[in-house]
């Protein structure tokens, strides 16, 4: 099962159907929730599975992290941005988890293009995920026995003393 199929199945299990349709205003995806229904619409204009996965993950992030419809929050732009940021963070953590970054690095997958392909996401999404992690964990992030350095981007294993 591909990551896209797995995420669609997870949403189905939560009774959140995924609909493919045209969307106005060059929107790529939309999560809708009210007292009667909740669903995700993905733009039928998305070209690749990687694009569909990235957009679906962000919309799934709204399902998991948002409250209410942010379409109605235009008057409160701060709250709108906060909910968008939370949804994107959920998507980054879901599709580009730090443990998998380390595994890819160990398998000599190093360039942003190769890493994006490894995760099944767009290069733009992968770079945004790394920027998110960089802002959150600057200058380096300790994950288990590893350190992810952001400038330059590299991963090093922390060797225990005496070994």
Query: Tens of pLDDT along 125-156?
Result: 999 999 999 999 998 899 889 999 988 888 99
For the domain made up of 1-95, the CATH class stated in words is: mainly alpha
**For the whole prediction, is pTM greater than 0.95?**
no
Classify burial at 57, counting beta carbons within 10 Å of its beta carbon; exposed 0-12, middle 13-18, buried 19 or more.
buried
Task: Give the Cα separation of 147 and 40 in Å (integer).
Answer: 37
Q: Measuring CA to CA, which residue among 36, 30, 35, 97 is closest to residue 61?
A: 30
Contact (Cβ atoms closer than 8 angstroms) between residue 4 and residue 56? yes
Share of the chain above pLDDT 90, in %: 65
Residue ranges of the domains in the chain?
A: 1-95, 97-163
């Amino acid at each position: 099962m591909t990551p896209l199929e797995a995420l669609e199945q997870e949403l189905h299990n939560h009774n959140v159907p995924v609909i493919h349709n045209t969307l106005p205003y060059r929107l790529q995806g939309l999560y809708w929730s009210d007292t009667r229904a909740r669903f995700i619409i993905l733009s039928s204009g998305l070209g690749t599975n990687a694009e569909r996965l990235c957009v679906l993950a962000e919309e799934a992030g709204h399902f998991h992290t948002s409250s209410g419809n942010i379409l109605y929050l235009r008057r409160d732009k701060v709250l709108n941005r906060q909910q968008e940021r939370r949804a994107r963070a959920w998507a980054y953590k879901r599709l580009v988890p730090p443990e998998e970054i380390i595994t890819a690095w160990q398998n000599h997958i190093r360039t942003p293009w190769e890493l994006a392909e490894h995760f099944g996401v767009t290069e733009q999404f992968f770079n945004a995920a790394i920027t998110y992690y960089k802002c959150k964990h600057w200058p380096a992030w300790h994950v288990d026995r590893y350190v992810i350095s952001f400038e330059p981007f590299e991963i090093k294993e922390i060797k225990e003393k005496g070994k």
